[in-house]
A and B are shown apart, each in its own frame.
Chain A
Amino acid sequence: MSNNDSWTVAGRTFTSRLIVGTGKYKDFEQNATALVASGAEIITVAVRRVNVSDSKAPMLTDFIDPKKYTYLPNTAGCFTADEAIRTLRLAREAGGWDLVKLEVLGEAKTLYPDMRETLKATEVLAKEGFLPMVYCVDDPIAAKQLEEAGAVAVMPLGAPIGSGLGIQNRVTIRLIVEGASVPVLVDAGVGTASDAAVAMELGCEGVLMNTAIAEAKDPVRMARAMKLAVAAGREAYLAGRMGRRMYADPSSPLAGLI
């Protein structure tokens, strides 16, 4: 086992290759327990209006310590570059973090990214000193363009957000990995542990997921499963898989048969 198998994004080094979201959980307590089980060091969070009429409502930061975990503010729900930039400027002021997750959505039905707006936002954010990890289509050319625009990581979807369909196009994910000089993480589409393992076997630096854990029957157990799957997939990638054959090849020697 490679015990020192860490990865680095924008100069920051992490041991866990699993990034988890903090949405859709039953309550903050379950969220925090699942987070511990996942072993994740980075969590995504959303930026929203405070509840002015009930300021005593429990807050995420009361359950998940921002000093212990890296908060990665996202731009979920933003459909234009301007909205996303505005959201992340506020996030930086609220938390002081410049490592952010950019996503600019194209339509509500598929939550597919709008790459024209995403690219525009990436350029502006990079110029303003942000370190954007960017949700994108599984397109090797788009991934390259994002990198040129200042993305510190490219995060292609495996399948639509929240769909749990698993990685639909291994070829394009692999092409992105081969062409990138920044970390590639599969973001969205993971449904179960094997999907996370596939992402890692393709050579991704990590996997980002939310719904696969939060909507499992037992989220804490699924969080643990994802931790193991990411580790297993990574090990398999480093080990280097056997070649594929069209036909059988016996594992026992043919010589000495009685």
Chain B
Amino acid sequence: MTDTAIHIEIQITLNGDPRRVPIGWTIAQLVSEIGLDPKKVAVERNLEIIPRSTLAQVELRDGDVLEIVHFVGGG
């Protein structure tokens, strides 16, 4: 970890998989980068729900564990 990337990217876990994102990104930026409609998903960070209205304000931190869920068919 001596390259300069350490200064511009952080490491998070998204739905169980590791992912690197630019430093300073908000959750809303990540959601739109993935191509999701923020109105159709819910986000949990480190076991805490992040209200949809605040997604654009909440900055990602190194080591964050994120779960992004939506509704699928079920009984």
Contacts and interface: CB of A to CB of B under 8 A. Distances in A.
B52 A93 contact: yes
Nearest to A28: B73
A48 B69 contact: yes
B74 A50 contact: no
A155 to B, nearest CB: 12
Interface of A is mostly: mixed
B71 A45 contact: yes
A23 B72 CA distance: 8
Contacts of A89: 49
B15 interface: yes
B72 A45 contact: yes
Interface in A38-60: 44-50, 52, 55-56, 59-60
Given A49-B68, A93-B51, A23 B75 contact: yes
B41 interface: yes
A180 interface: no
Contact of A46 (B14, B43, B52, B71): B71
Contacts of B49: 89-90, 93
A48 B69 CA distance: 5
B44 A46 contact: no
A159 B47 CA distance: 35
Contacts of B34: 50, 52, 55
Contact of B73 (A55, A60, A211): A60
Given A48-B70, A90-B69, A59 B75 contact: no
A16 interface: no
Interface string A167-189: 00000000000000000000000
Interface string B34-52: 1110001111100101011
B42 A23 contact: no
A25 interface: yes
Interface stretch (A7-15, A68-76, A140-148, A230-238): A68-76
Nearest to A188: B75
27 contacts: A25-B73, A44-B74, A44-B75, A45-B71, A45-B72, A46-B72, A46-B73, A46-B74, A47-B71, A49-B69, A50-B34, A52-B15, A52-B17, A55-B34, A55-B35, A60-B71, A60-B72, A74-B75, A86-B44, A86-B47, A90-B49, A93-B43, A93-B52, A94-B40, A94-B69, A94-B71, A209-B75
